[in-house]
Amino acid sequence: MLLPLLGEYSMILHDGDYHGRQRRLLLPPFHGERMRAHGNLICDIADQVMSQKTIDEHFLARPAMQEISLRVILRAVFGVDEGEHFEQLKQLIGSLFDIFRYPLSASFIFLPALQQDLGKWTPWGRFVGQKKQINELLDALIRERKAENDSSREDILSLMLSARDEAGEPMTDEELRDELMTTIFAGHETTATALAWALYWIHYLPEVKEKLLQELDKLEENADTSAIAKLPYLNAVCCETMRIYPVVLFTFARIVKQPIQIMGYEFQPGTVLSPCIYLTHHRDDLYPQPKQFKPERFLERQYSQYEYLPFGGGNRRCIGMAFAQYEMKLVLATILSRFEVSLVNKRPVKPVRRGLTLAAPAGMRMVVTGERKLAKTPVSVS
């Protein structure tokens, strides 16, 4: 069902050798040092987006977090996010993903029988038109970047262009385009959902916010972004956010290749297994009082990757995991240390389905009530 959105060469839609090759080509830009190079940029973007909010005026949490995560992923992927091409791209991607906002329009993605192109006034026709425009823009950006031939660039697209497989071959332009779309899609919706949830929990539970502020305040003067990423309570809050309502309910399906026994059940080749992240995260033998938001559980115990799996596992584990975790921590640290924010309605909210994610309700409102300057501002916004 993701084919029309991502394109036929997207690694998400493949298995076996092609999947392994694409994964090997795509993993390096998401590793260690490279990812940390985006740290200050993430803080800057979070600060800019939140600075635009008018004091005491309500804003919707989800679109604000989406704006941050879209700008972050575009900057990380292309190295820039300004200019005519990018304005168009941001707008098109924003409206393309809006198809997930309502279950009715999302059903066009999930039900191929509804995929009739009857012109731009119909949801599917509009979707096809927007996707075509996005493809043309991505093709143009790839062409421009190739013509530039600048080996000093470190953005994800430049690294993808210089990557070679075992046979010494680069990705084709179509592969590059579909992998760019995959990265933007997978990296934008999911992280925005996780951030909106984190904002909810932090502002719904005063003791959580208080502990986070205390931790941020203890950072050393001019602490850099890697010091923020190592803060234990901030890490625990991010982990608990993705435990209680994992952004994605299930991992991708796995198909049994050889007879296998799991917890006393026999599975034969061809059986499709859908590991459920949500149910695992709500087992009370692993997570006592699983319906309660308790970051402390991640300070008291280390969970294995079979117990805690918001990013899936094995050979399909999310390639953006480290990037998303880093982004979440830096965005939250920036918002908390620079702005006084609160929820407009302090009542419990229930998750809603948004495309493939389990999201906070679209109408969740927040308000910036003032600026906060922690004694030692931990993020250096340029």
User: Contact 79/153 with Cβ under 8 angstroms?
Assistant: yes
Q: CB within 8 A of 118, min separation 6: which ones?
A: 124, 125
Comparison of 61 and 242: residue with beta carbon closer to ligand HEM: 242
Cα 304 to Cα 291: distance, rounded to the nearest angstrom: 20
Comparison of 11 and 364: residue with beta carbon closer to ligand HEM: 11
State the amino acid at position 52 in one-letter form: Q
CB of 374 to ligand HEM, least distance (A): 25
CB of 198 to ligand HEM, least distance (A): 10
Comparison of 211 and 329: residue with beta carbon closer to ligand HEM: 329
CB of 29 to ligand HEM, least distance (A): 9
CB of 81 to ligand HEM, least distance (A): 15
Cα radius of gyration rounded to whole Å, the chain: 21
CB of 183 to ligand HEM, least distance (A): 5
User: Contact 115/124 with Cβ under 8 angstroms?
Assistant: yes
What DSSP line would sit under 134-173, residue for residue?
Answer: HHHHHHHHHHHHHHH--TT--SHHHHHHH---TTSPPPPH
Comparison of 259 and 314: residue with beta carbon closer to ligand HEM: 314
CB of 318 to ligand HEM, least distance (A): 3
Q: CB within 8 A of 48, min separation 6: which ones?
A: none
Comparison of 190 and 235: residue with beta carbon closer to ligand HEM: 190
Comparison of 11 and 336: residue with beta carbon closer to ligand HEM: 11
Q: CB within 8 A of 84, min separation 6: which ones?
A: none
CB of 189 to ligand HEM, least distance (A): 9
State the amino acid at position 130 in one-letter form: Q
Cα 62 to Cα 251: distance, rounded to the nearest angstrom: 23
Comparison of 124 and 197: residue with beta carbon closer to ligand HEM: 197
Q: Which two tokens stand for residue 87?
A: 């304005």
CA distances from 225 to 42, 230, 321, 346 (A): 10, 9, 17, 31
Which residues in this chain contact ligand HEM in the complex, by CB under 6 A? 11-12, 23, 182-183, 186-187, 190-191, 194, 242, 247-248, 251-252, 310-314, 316-320, 323-324
